[in-house]
Amino acid sequence: MSDDAGPSGRLRDGVPLREAVGTASPADWVRLDAEVRTPAWRTANRLPTREELRGLPAGPLSDAAESRIALALCHPDGRVREAALARVTGAPGLRPLLVVRCADWVTPVRDRARALLGETAGPQLAPLAPLILLLSRRDRGGFALRLLEGALRQGAARNVEALLADEDRAVRRLAYRIAVDRQLLTPAELARTAATAAGDTSVQTLCADAALAGAGEDDYDAVVAPLLASRSPQVRSAGVTGLRRTGRHREAIAFLADRSALVRACARYVVRQGGTDPLPLYRSMCADPTRHPAAAAGLGECGSRADVDTLWHLTGHQLPAVRAHAVSALCTLDAVRPDRLRPLLDDLSAVVVRAAARALQPHAATLDTDLLRAGLAPDRARPTRIAARRLLEAQERALARGARPGP
């Protein structure tokens, strides 16, 4: 792990601590700690001793002294690490290594580090949150996390708010969890966050649920509407549930044909709670599927065998989305006919080909092997070749388990 280009090598070469370690990256502090303990690095470099530490002048640390103490805090000898802790107080640049030592494997070092970190004020702990959360995964890493959570829960609201936009996902999740518990954000603010926090389902779900829990009957525009407009299925489903809370059951009808199965399920629940059966609505939508491409999927989710003919008809619709949803609906109703569905492996739409391949997977043993192999030809479209290969593999596995081959 020793590397002259690493933080330990830069410290050895006299680079100030604030420049030698990427202070925004918790991984760099962990790397520094590991590098210094590497036998090859110790052999090639002069590490600080307790005598050297005792000889450092009192008062503010120079850049050179701070770098030497940083190396001492990572020393393989626990006695040197413990001695170095005496110089951490009043040196903000060394606090990250103080956090590292709170998870030390040597009890005296660990206890001394924890006592010193316990004296650190909440505003000073907040910037260390990414490193604290990284180290919390270690066996002895829980102390600093408990300290940080306590400081954020009991300290000034601005300390929590400063972490809501942190680049570290784990930090943002912790900050939002505490902000929700402390009710630091209004339902409208929570709804906006849920609708815009792309890529973080945990934060979106947390904020959406908290927004609805704190919303009143008159908060539709500020809370429910932003949730309904979100691109996230989890957030839209929360918004649909919010329609029930605000007594707007009929507005859930618009989401019966949502592209997400989760949202469709929530919409059916809300519509039923309002006294309307969604099945006739789905059948009506499927009469005009161009306006409601996902209505076919919804029909499969709550329909019956009586709707199978309608769905087979939709597998020939001009819109690829309608064809794909119709195939999925046939699977849901256990109405797949392999001989009738196999031609869709040559569909011009990759979405339809993938849907057909998924539907045919359980029936792979019954498919014509020669026709599947023909789908591997170089002149066939790439989605068709991929589907043919996967179905041939599924067929081979099924036959190996003793399934009966098709004609």
What's the pLDDT tens digit per position in 72-87? 999 999 999 999 998 8
Of the candidates 369, 358, 375, 372, the residue with the CA atom closest to the CA atom of residue 405: 369
What is the distance between the alpha carbons of residues 6 and 20, in angstroms, rounded to a whole number? 8
Contact between 154 and 148 under an 8 Å Cβ cutoff? The reply is no
Asked whether residue 147 carries a pLDDT value surpassing 90, the answer given is: yes
pLDDT band at 312 (very low <50, low <70, confident <90, very high): very high
Asked whether residue 319 carries a pLDDT value surpassing 80, the answer given is: yes
Asked whether residue 24 carries a pLDDT value surpassing 80, the answer given is: no
| Residue 231 phi, psi (nearest 5) | -85, -15
Q: What percent of the chain has pLDDT over 90?
A: 69
Asked whether residue 23 carries a pLDDT value surpassing 70, the answer given is: no
What is the distance between the alpha carbons of residues 283 and 298, in angstroms, rounded to a whole number? 9
Averaged over 311-334, what is the pLDDT? 96
Asked whether residue 170 carries a pLDDT value surpassing 80, the answer given is: yes
Spatial CB neighbours of 304, under 8 Å, sequence gap ≥ 6 = 333
CA dist 91 → 75, 95, 303 (Å): 18, 7, 69
pLDDT band at 1 (very low <50, low <70, confident <90, very high): very low
Our CA angle for 37, 53, 67, nearest 5°, is: 60
Least confident of 53-67, 141-155, 355-369: 53-67
Our CA angle for 51, 54, 55, nearest 5°, is: 90
pLDDT band at 285 (very low <50, low <70, confident <90, very high): very high
CA torsion angle 7 9 13 17 (round to 10): 20
Least confident of 54-58, 83-87, 112-116, 291-295: 54-58
What is the distance between the alpha carbons of residues 286 and 240, in angstroms, rounded to a whole number? 22
| Residue 264 phi, psi (nearest 5) | -60, -40
Least confident of 86-95, 229-238, 272-281: 86-95
pLDDT for residue 4: 58
Least confident of 14-18, 113-117, 281-285: 14-18
pLDDT for residue 403: 67
Averaged over 40-54, what is the pLDDT? 78
What is the distance between the alpha carbons of residues 267 and 250, in angstroms, rounded to a whole number? 10
Asked whether residue 9 carries a pLDDT value surpassing 90, the answer given is: no
The CATH-assigned architecture of domain 336-407 is Alpha Horseshoe (1.25)
Asked whether residue 63 carries a pLDDT value surpassing 70, the answer given is: yes
Which pair of tokens denotes residue 322?
């309608």
Which pair of tokens denotes residue 150?
């306590």
pLDDT for residue 218: 75
Asked whether residue 295 carries a pLDDT value surpassing 90, the answer given is: yes
pLDDT for residue 308: 97
Looking up tokens 């005496």 gives 86
CA dist 398 → 187, 281, 347, 364, 401 (Å): 53, 40, 25, 7, 5
Least confident of 107-116, 350-359, 393-402: 393-402
Q: What percent of the chain has pLDDT over 70?
A: 96
What is the distance between the alpha carbons of residues 115 and 98, in angstroms, rounded to a whole number? 10
Regarding predicted confidence, which is higher, 19 or 169? 169
Residues of the chain with CATH 1.25.10: 336-407
Our CA angle for 148, 154, 155, nearest 5°, is: 80
What is the distance between the alpha carbons of residues 377 and 331, in angstroms, rounded to a whole number? 28
CB count, 10 Å around CB of 222? 17
Averaged over 43-56, what is the pLDDT? 81
CA torsion angle 92 97 102 105 (round to 10): -160
Q: For 268-371, where are the E strands, in sequence order?
A: none
Please give the single-letter amino acid code of residue 348: L
Averaged over 63-71, what is the pLDDT? 88
pLDDT for residue 400: 87
Least confident of 37-41, 207-211, 220-224, 236-240: 37-41
For the chain, the first-to-last Cα distance in angstroms comes to: 60
- pTM summary value: 0.81
pLDDT band at 54 (very low <50, low <70, confident <90, very high): confident
The mean pLDDT of the chain is: 91
Averaged over 167-172, what is the pLDDT? 92
pLDDT for residue 44: 62
pLDDT band at 58 (very low <50, low <70, confident <90, very high): confident
Which pair of tokens denotes residue 99?
């956090």
Cβ neighbourhood burial of 170 (10 Å; 0-12, 13-18, 19+): middle
Please give the single-letter amino acid code of residue 289: P
Asked whether residue 2 carries a pLDDT value surpassing 50, the answer given is: no
